Structure 1
Amino acid sequence: MTELWTPDDLQRIASADELQIAPRRTDGTLRRWVPIWVVCVDEQVYVRTWYRRNTGWFAHVLDSHRACVRVPGLQTDVSVEHVGTGSERLRADVDTAYRTKYARYGTSTVDQMVAPEAAATTLLLAREQDRLS
């Protein structure tokens, strides 16, 4: 079951330079943590990979649709939905968020994250509801 990101969650994620993601294996254990760029758009959290591979963190989250993410002050389980480029508006909004947040890295670096190949890898991270023991 998913829940909405809180304003505090979104602020922590938006202010973090990178988010760390660890895909979940089928037995629920975590794979290794991988740092990735992250943006928030319309109270949702999105990540992309600049180069799609059939191995590594991206392939593992596509297989399981589950991961754990962390930024300073927050660690939570997420469900992962591959949204690709989505609608034209979503694509433009996510591209703009990447350009704005990561502009300091220079145009050539950011252009890789907003290229059609990278946009096609867009993933929506939805916070999973905390489970009580």
Structure 2
Amino acid sequence: MTAWNGSDLKQIGTAEELDLQSERANGTLRAPVTMWVVRAGDHLYVRSVKGADGPWYRGAQTRQQGCIEAGGVRRDVAFHEAEPSEYASVDAAYRDKYGRYTGIVDHVLTDKARASTLRLEPS
């Protein structure tokens, strides 16, 4: 596992939104999808509101790699399914960062969304 450098971790982790492009089976990138991103410890995470049924999430499962852009940083990444032990800290990060969006943030805190938590790792 490759670690984020401090600058990229901070820039991406504090960005309001992230653009994610997953890689197709043929190696080309899909169109970017804009979503929320959170930092928990030294890791970055995204979730699908629709859980495993979300189109972007299903696409990310094809090769489990792609590209992200946020906070002025563009990086190739690998998508790793988060362990259930990581969910509580990711939940807290979503509440802290996006809690001002009352009612909306609740959609990323459901069991369905939790099960789609992906840890982004630089590649």
CA-atom RMSD in angstroms: 1.4
- How many angstroms apart in 1 are the aligned matches of 2:52 and 2:114? 14
* Mapped pair 1:101 → 2:67: no
Aligned to 1:131: none
Structure number, greater radius of gyration: 1
- How many angstroms apart in 1 are the aligned matches of 2:48 and 2:100? 19
Report sequence identity in percent. Answer: 34
**Residues 59-107 of structure 1, C-alpha deviations (whole Å, 9 max, x = no match):** 0111210110001321111111122x521xx21110000000001111x
Q: Which segments of structure 1 move beyond 3 Å, counting only runs of 4 or more?
A: none
Aligned to 2:113: 118
- Cα displacement (A) at 1:55: 5.8
- Cα displacement (A) at 1:26: 2.0
* Mapped pair 1:57 → 2:56: yes
Query: TM-score, normalising length from structure 1?
Result: 0.86
- How many angstroms apart in 2 are the aligned matches of 1:29 and 1:6? 26
Give the length in aligned residue pairs: 123
Structure 1: where are the runs of 5+ without partners? 129-133
- Cα displacement (A) at 1:3: 2.1
Query: TM-score, normalising length from structure 2?
Result: 0.92
